[in-house]
Amino acid sequence: MATEQESKKINPLHKEFQNLLDEDFKDRKLKENEIIKATVTEITKNFIVCDCRAKMEAMIPIEEFKNDDELSKLKVGSTIDVYLDRIESARGEIIISRDKARKMKAWKKMERVFETQEELVATLQGKCKGGFIAYVEGLPCFMPSSQIDVRPLKKIDHLMNTPIKVIATRIDKNRGNVCVSRRAVLEKSKNAEITEALKNIKEGDVVNDAIVKACTDWGIFLDINGVDALLHVSDLSHGRVKKPSDLVTIGQKLKVKITKIDPKTNRVSASIKALTEDPYSNIEKKYKVGEIYEGVVTKIMDYGCFVRIEESIEGLVHNSELDWTNRNVKPSKILSVSQKIKFRIVNIDKDSKRISLSYKATQENPWEKIKDQIGKQVKIKINNVTDKAVFGELIESGLMGMCHYKELNYSEDINELKKYKKNDVISVKIIEIKDDKIRFSKRALEKDPFDFFVDNNKKIGDIITTRIHEVLKTGVKVAVDKDKKVIVTIKKADLAKDSANARPEVFSPGNALDAKITELDLKVRKVKLSVKAAQIDEEKSLIAKFGEGATKSGATLKGIFEKAIGSKKKKKKEEK
């Protein structure tokens, strides 16, 4: 058989055709991953056949032309943009896409308009988590639910599959994601209208026909010549306003004053109270601190009551100013809403527009009466017993006071508290009133055992005879008086001069024991006794009496003491 080269040499027409084909491909510069022009050569049932000026024709699935209703306008000879995916596949075919061309073109446009914030036309074609899928020239974009309108919509059926204007708000090139917003278009349009409308109003203007659009607990929204304005609850009146809805209704026309216009946000603030004079401007001329006036209770809170002094002026009666006997009384137990009362002005703060009132100042003060009862016996009803004291109220006046456990008995034993319980009525003496606080004492009704020292003219340095009450390891307890109401502990170191004799176990309850008063403070009821000091004083006395003659005769100190003690015993026998 003849080779191909031989065939070409034989047939010069083949060589001429090859030259013409090579010459034609020189003008066809095709690059993959770019958009190119293609001409429709045939429209079949499943494919659109296109001439891309390549070695062969390419086919595009007909589904890629159905999204934008492009198929109905397509005809043989039409020129379309397609995306060149592969110049030659494994099967030798050219791969192109109309859908990818549309998306690439739309993405490039999206990058351009994102910087300029140009409006685009989109179509909502489905829902997804958190929002909707909007197609912009074939490019699927995400629209959050919050960006579909300036206010929440219950239904959005009228917006589905309908061309709407949007603005690109975010582009992620790495992920190929785009977020769009219809709300931004609406706000942009509305802001333009507001900017134009704001040219007709200015701060300080008085508007007679502001229309109430909406009402909340913190203010009222108004329509002022097409501009939304806020009338805050604090600008409704110079006085206190519970709920704005109690004063106005939707659609009502109000007379207001424009107090502020923010050029950056186009927010307008209005006020009704700015139309009238501030009643606090001359309040010091109308009302004086310390004077008594009348008013009506308007509101009761946990911390006090509000009282209307006059229209738009209110004062607060704190719960500490409601009752003399209870500083933390519940306000609702003393006063009620709409009650007409007398009050005394305690303080006026003009700058903060606060007036402090006192209701109890108009009532009789029981504290003035009770000052004369200091040192007198009274009866109290126990309200509470704590781990340190008894609290009770005076039967006559109801004033509260405290009796510390040390004031219950001269023994100052904390176990005395166990003898008392709530609602018991006991007699006590008022011993102190300070800063509206009363101190009671029950033991003050009895004779103080420490009066023993006053009645018997005993003082520091005196030696007294006591009786051993109890023997301890560290000393002994002795009774100073016959009734054993004054019990004093003598420590081991003070039991004897000689340490050998200073042993508590050598003493027995009931034995007499002479001791010296080394400390005595009747105010704090403190006394200290020492047997050792008494023995030292006795020794000094004996030495002073017998020591001079005894030294010359050679007598010992022991003999002198025995002689002295013996002479004392002899005298006692003779007296008997």
Q: Which domain holds residue 525?
A: 447-576
Question: In terms of domains, do 573 and 474 share one?
Answer: yes
Range ranked top by mean pLDDT from 83-87, 249-253, 498-502: 249-253
Question: In terms of domains, do 264 and 141 share one?
Answer: no
Q: Which residues contact 248 (CB under 8 A, 6 or more apart)?
A: 212, 215, 220, 254
Question: In terms of domains, do 357 and 372 share one?
Answer: no
Token reading at 469: 């009450």
Q: Which residue among 101, 136, 163 closes a domain?
A: 101
Token reading at 265: 């946000």
Is pLDDT of 551 > 60? Answer: no
- Domain CATH number, residue 152: 2.40.50.140
How many structural domains is the chain composed of? Answer: 6
Rounded Cα distance, 63 and 341, in Å: 86
Q: Tens of pLDDT along 149-203?
A: 888 888 888 888 889 999 888 888 777 788 999 998 888 877 777 777 777 788 8
Question: In terms of domains, do 438 and 456 share one?
Answer: no
Question: In terms of domains, do 204 and 317 share one?
Answer: no
CA 512 to chain centroid, in Å, comes to 69
Token reading at 193: 């209208």
Rounded Cα distance, 381 and 394, in Å: 7
Question: In terms of domains, do 231 and 248 share one?
Answer: yes
Q: What amino acid is encoded at 163 in this protein?
A: P
Q: Tens of pLDDT along 362-415?
A: 988 888 888 888 888 999 999 999 999 999 988 888 888 999 998 898 888 889
Q: Would you say residue 554 lies in a domain?
A: yes
Rounded Cα distance, 535 and 495, in Å: 10
Q: Would you say residue 241 lies in a domain?
A: yes
What pTM was estimated for this model as a whole?
0.46
Question: In terms of domains, do 211 and 260 share one?
Answer: yes
- In angstroms, the Cα distances linking 294 to 19, 171, 282, 319, 479 are 117, 68, 19, 18, 66
Starting at the edge strand found earlier in the chain, the sheet holding 79-86 runs 58-61, 47-51, 34-43, 79-86, 95-97
Question: In terms of domains, do 571 and 487 share one?
Answer: yes
Question: In terms of domains, do 131 and 230 share one?
Answer: no
- CB-CB contact of 350 with 283 (8 Å): yes
Question: In terms of domains, do 492 and 543 share one?
Answer: yes
Q: Would you say residue 5 lies in a domain?
A: no
Question: In terms of domains, do 144 and 238 share one?
Answer: no
Question: In terms of domains, do 523 and 497 share one?
Answer: yes
Is pLDDT of 556 > 50? Answer: no
- CB-CB contact of 491 with 502 (8 Å): no
Q: Which residue among 362, 393, 420 closes a domain?
A: 362
pLDDT at 567: 53
Q: Which residue among 327, 346, 362 closes a domain?
A: 362
Q: Would you say residue 6 lies in a domain?
A: no
Q: Would you say residue 2 lies in a domain?
A: no
Q: Would you say residue 109 lies in a domain?
A: no
Higher pLDDT, 4 or 35: 35
Q: Would you say residue 40 lies in a domain?
A: yes
Q: Would you say residue 304 lies in a domain?
A: yes
